A and B are shown apart, each in its own frame.
Chain A
């Protein structure tokens, strides 16, 4: 056996050295037996900050919030067994939404693996389908290489969570250090640059379009702020309407007159009808999700479709497209702009003007409208609460996270985002309890920014323990609860699809959120009527501490417009403000979620 010299670094020290080389500044984590060597090494250095969360799921969401607001890779550190299993929901959330994370998990010593040891779980087995890739470090000499590789895999191509499982003996025993590899990976080589011929074909198709639409998604955000600028430039050249998925909000400025708002199940009338009626669709970094397409065989009938996606497995997965382009959104937009400028073909401006006339007629329907009584004592409409929140914070560089449900959709509809990386929401997985820990991550990255978690009273309770994290690190996150005393989206579906039988959707035995805030050293505020709304928002913004603002809203309000599951874009249900449209929910739709 080799005698270890004094100079040799332990695996834990080598791990931290690799993290530093990767530019890691902050880790979100929770200690435990298997990761004690890492915590010991963290204690003895100052380069990497550790944020102690109150539950491992929250560590992952916090890292997601950090990653989405900064464009960097989020880092999670949890212990073996329950530490790892608690992280699984967050990992799947990051996988579905393509968020770059590296999750470090402790593991029992290599000689105990497979023995059902205390706090042992088959972490790589459990998380194989929950990560983009995962590793079990079995030899000290692989440790540094695997950590570097994990960051490379997490951030490149379609981003996603990568897990590294670290047996305790690997962390304690000496390990050699290796620097990050410079050359390409042996087997993993994502395609970034688009095929020039396909770009030329795409430009020709768009130039010949009479009714073009740009449908943009989270891929534009993931491609970095430059991609968002290029999107605005390209949209300006084309003159086409732009609609965004939930994940893509902020990539195109909401104030731009070409923006039609969000599309899909709770998208605007004009966005969905533009999708339905277009003759050429350019999908940039979106994946034809079922929440966006509605019934597939009625999706944008007769249109030619161009799909730019960095992940080849997204091409022709749900919708067959005419021109697939595998590329990073930034590289594709750059190439599209260059090809557009060098192509001498002229657009049919008369057709485009006619298309905009139709879009304006749909816009005039004002599908997001609601009626808010301003008379004293009037009940607050949730849409109005979001609208006022936006109006009172729009002058600041505000970051918004959400939980999942009606409040999330109202936030997507009524809060308007002008820049990318300002909107953090759980899209693909739809994880209730996402918003508060995500806000922890955002506020950690931007200590002086206004960070608001738009929440529902049911969702917020799923990770409410993170109020402790806010207090410990003096993170002045504002939790803006639209409290309708129901799991609102469940209640809405029960009203519309299940005969008004509100099975288990009432939020009984709620805490007093004001007192709850106070017990966690935060400030609690409450708005009971319309008279309280603006003062509460103003006080919330002015308070330099964590705040829970409990906004009591109309419990019967539903989120419209709505495309029922299994319906087409032109079968949208509009709200009670619009009585002429009736839409059918089919039996097939009822089995969908």
Chain B
């Protein structure tokens, strides 16, 4: 309808350092649902010795205006220390981990194992008719591996969502 909506979408990887108090995750999630923003991935865990601070990594897709809004809205939450847009503040690394269960026999099973080797996935559980692979990498690498596993007996996936950090000496 207008210029804003024609603007192109981008996926932003946003790191948020928060006080580890009760309800802080609900506050962040409520902000997204209440304002209609889309979350592609969200991870959270304490990151300091005394577990007082947690780091939330959010991957969200939106127009530039929406991404800026998301950052500003996050930043004004009382328990938020800092919001960093890793995709804008310089090169960064983003990784997620997936546990992938593949069931099959014969040539399909052998092919699954060969591909897992090519992707450097580890076998962390095996039976005569199944494997559980552990794979770490960027989201698109995981997606590519899962696409390959689908015809080979993929039956279950558990993914952690993205954890991200800036390259070099920069910190949040």
Contact = CB atoms under 8 A, between A and B. Distances in A.
Nearest to B22: A136
Interface stretch (A20-28, A225-233, A314-322): A314-322
Of A132, A136, A153, A186, the most chain B CB neighbours within 10 A belong to A186
A316 B30 contact: no
A129 B34 contact: yes
A296 interface: yes
B73 interface: yes
B26 A128 contact: yes
B54 to A, nearest CB: 12
A167 to B, nearest CB: 13
Of A125, A128, A187, A311, the most chain B CB neighbours within 10 A belong to A187
A316 B68 contact: yes
Interface in B3-57: 3-4, 18-19, 22-23, 26-27, 30, 34
Interface in A119-133: 124-125, 128-129, 132-133
Contact of B27 (A128, A153, A157, A315): A128
B119 interface: no
B72 A315 contact: yes
Contact of A316 (B65, B75, B80): B65
A312 interface: yes
A297 interface: yes
B80 A187 contact: yes
Contacts of B80: 187
Interface in A261-303: 296-297
B30 A313 contact: no
A187 B78 contact: yes
A128 B23 contact: yes
A132 B30 contact: no
Contacts of B1: 297
B69 interface: yes
Contacts of B23: 124-125, 128, 134, 136
A188 B76 CA distance: 8
Interface string A113-148: 000000000001100110011101010000000000
B145 interface: no
Interface in A565-584: none
A138 B23 CA distance: 13
Contacts of A153: 78
Contacts of B34: 129
A297 B19 contact: no
Interface string A462-497: 000000000000000000000000000000000000
Interface in B99-143: none
A297 B4 CA distance: 9
B2 interface: yes
B153 interface: no
A33 to B, nearest CB: 24
A297 B26 contact: no
Contacts of A313: 69, 72-73, 75-76
B65 A320 contact: yes
A185 B65 CA distance: 29
Nearest to B33: A129
Which interface class (under 10, 10 to 19, 20 to 34, 35 or more) fits A? Answer: 20 to 34
Interface in B60-89: 65, 68-69, 72-73, 75-81
B30 A129 contact: yes
Nearest to B18: A187
A297 B3 contact: yes
Contacts of A124: 23
A128 B78 CA distance: 12
B2 A297 contact: yes
Contact of A186 (B2, B4, B19, B30): B19
A128 B76 contact: no
B109 to A, nearest CB: 47
A128 B30 CA distance: 8
B65 A296 contact: no
Contacts of B65: 316, 320
Contacts of A136: 22-23
A317 B78 contact: no
A226 B23 CA distance: 38
Contacts of A133: 77-78
Interface string A401-427: 000000000000000000000000000
A136 B23 CA distance: 10
A493 to B, nearest CB: 23
A438 B76 CA distance: 28
Interface string A57-100: 00000000000000000000000000000000000000000000
Contacts of B68: 316
Contacts of A315: 72
A328 to B, nearest CB: 15
A161 B69 CA distance: 22
Contacts of B76: 157-158, 311-313
Nearest to B79: A187
Contacts of B26: 125, 128
Contacts of A297: 1-3
B72 A187 contact: no
B94 to A, nearest CB: 25
B129 to A, nearest CB: 43
Interface in A312-340: 312-313, 315-317, 320
B39 to A, nearest CB: 16
Interface in A174-190: 185-188
B72 A312 contact: yes
A71 B75 CA distance: 26
Nearest to B72: A313
Contact of A187 (B27, B73, B81): B81
Contacts of B69: 313, 316-317
Q: List the 4 closest A-B pairs by CB distance, nearest first.
A: A313-B72, A133-B78, A297-B2, A188-B78
Given A187-B81, A313-B75, 10 more contacts: A125-B23, A133-B77, A136-B22, A157-B76, A297-B2, A311-B76, A313-B69, A316-B68, A316-B69, A317-B69
26 contacts: A124-B23, A128-B23, A128-B30, A129-B34, A132-B78, A138-B22, A186-B19, A186-B81, A187-B18, A187-B78, A187-B79, A187-B80, A188-B78, A188-B79, A296-B4, A297-B1, A297-B2, A311-B76, A312-B76, A313-B69, A313-B73, A313-B76, A315-B72, A316-B65, A316-B69, A317-B69
